[in-house]
């Protein structure tokens, strides 16, 4: 596409570019702050206020502390399992549901949508859900982190909206050629919906990556713990603030206990755990990003 830019267009481009650079600088700052802080000397870090533009001193002790925890490697492996298997199942079921609920002329469609959306607002709460998961036999198994969250309603709704926007002609011509709905979904709809699939994949993957609460509730065996739960433990062991919420006596004990971590500040560990937890997921995004290319629909309407 050749576009001749008008003067107005050129001015707009310049302003837009400046604005976006400014925005990215502001958005880049927190992660730079965290990154530099994670390599800083704890004593220097404790004294510091304001903007952080470079590491204060240099030490990898924070990272050593995080990684010498024997549970970390295990945590990474577990999380990898949860992300891969979980996201695959999520995508499969969500796209099936989104497809089904986006077709025209389904008698019970609205009823089902209502029932599904209803669950976003009303639920049983922690204890009944725990009892249910227990009765199904999932407690202390890996599946406890996958099955109870099998479909995210928000994601389902987004995908359904996107599938509904695809022209009917695609489905009709496929059906005329003898395809059933499964074929239509997997061979026609999904290839054309790469962008939204990529996004929902990202959402689910990040969700699994960040998950710790369900693991905390449903898992006893440390061998099954995901990364975030391990990191949380490290963080809290080194964090005075959350201690004070567990009760006066415990807070005293922890205060006494933490007095000595002079050489390894809790704040330092906090920053290191953020980097350790975040970097891998950041690596996922570029793979997902290339699906946000325009023109996915080219060629699909022809014929």
- Show contacts with other proteins in window 16-75 (CB under 8 A): 16-17, 19-21, 23-24, 26-28, 30-31, 33-34, 43, 46-51, 68-71
| Shortest Å distance, C-beta 137 to other proteins | 10
Q: Cα separation of 93 and 194, whole Å?
A: 16
Residue nearer to other proteins on the CB measure, 58 or 118? 118
| Shortest Å distance, C-beta 27 to other proteins | 5
CA distances from 162 to 16, 141, 159, 168, 193 (A): 29, 34, 5, 13, 8
Q: Which of 193, 208, 211, 276 binds other proteins (CB under 8 A)?
A: 193
Q: Cα separation of 58 and 127, whole Å?
A: 47
Does residue 175 interact with other proteins by CB under 8 A?
no
Does residue 202 interact with other proteins by CB under 8 A?
yes
Q: Which of 145, 205, 224, 272 binds other proteins (CB under 8 A)?
A: 224
| Shortest Å distance, C-beta 82 to other proteins | 10
CA distances from 293 to 23, 129, 192, 303 (A): 22, 41, 12, 23
| Shortest Å distance, C-beta 39 to other proteins | 15
Residues 226-285, interacting with other proteins (CB under 8 A): 229, 232-233, 236-238, 240-242, 245-246, 248-250, 252-263, 267, 270-271, 274, 278, 281-282, 285
Give the tokens for residue 252: 């005293």
Furthest-apart CA pair in the chain: how many Å?
A: 76
Does residue 178 interact with other proteins by CB under 8 A?
no
Counting residues that bind other proteins (by CB under 8 A) gives 155
Instruction: Give 208's DSSP letter.
Output: H
| Shortest Å distance, C-beta 76 to other proteins | 15
Does residue 151 interact with other proteins by CB under 8 A?
yes
Residue nearer to other proteins on the CB measure, 185 or 211? 185
Does residue 170 interact with other proteins by CB under 8 A?
no
Give the residue ranges of DSSP H helices in the chain: 7-38, 42-47, 61-67, 71-102, 109-118, 126-135, 153-164, 168-176, 181-183, 190-192, 194-210, 213-218, 227-237, 240-243, 248-258, 266-289
């Amino acid at each position: 596409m050749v576009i001749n830019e008008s003067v107005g267009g050129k001015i707009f481009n310049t302003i837009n570019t400046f604005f976006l650079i400014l925005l990215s600088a502001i958005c880049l700052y927190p992660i730079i702050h965290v990154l530099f802080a994670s390599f800083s000397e704890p004593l220097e870090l404790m004294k510091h206020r304001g903007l952080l533009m470079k590491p204060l001193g240099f030490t990898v002790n924070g990272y050593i502390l995080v990684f010498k925890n024997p549970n970390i490697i295990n945590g990474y492996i577990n999380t990898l399992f949860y992300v891969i298997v979980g996201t695959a199942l999520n995508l499969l079921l969500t796209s099936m549901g989104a497809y089904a609920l986006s077709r025209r002329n389904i008698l019970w469609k609205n009823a089902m949508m209502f029932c599904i959306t209803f669950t976003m607002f009303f639920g049983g709460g922690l204890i009944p859900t725990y009892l249910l998961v227990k009765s199904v036999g999932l407690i202390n198994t890996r599946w406890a982190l996958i099955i109870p969250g099998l479909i995210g309603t928000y994601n389902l709704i987004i995908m359904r909206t996107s599938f509904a926007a695809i022209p009917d002609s695609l489905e009709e011509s496929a059906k005329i050629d003898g395809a059933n709905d499964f074929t239509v979904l997997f061979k026609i709809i999904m290839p054309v919906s790469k962008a939204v699939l990529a996004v929902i994949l990202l959402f689910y993957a990040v969700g699994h990556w960040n998950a710790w609460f369900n693991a905390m509730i449903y898992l006893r065996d440390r061998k099954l713990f995901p990364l975030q739960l391990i990191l949380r433990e490290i963080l809290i062991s080194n964090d005075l603030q959350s201690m004070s919420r567990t009760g006066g006596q415990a807070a005293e004990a922890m205060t006494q206990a933490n007095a000595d971590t002079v050489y390894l500040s809790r704040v330092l560990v906090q920053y290191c755990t953020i980097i350790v937890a975040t970097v891998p997921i950041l690596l996922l995004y570029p793979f997902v990003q290339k699906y946000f290319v325009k023109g996915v629909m080219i060629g699909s309407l022809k014929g």
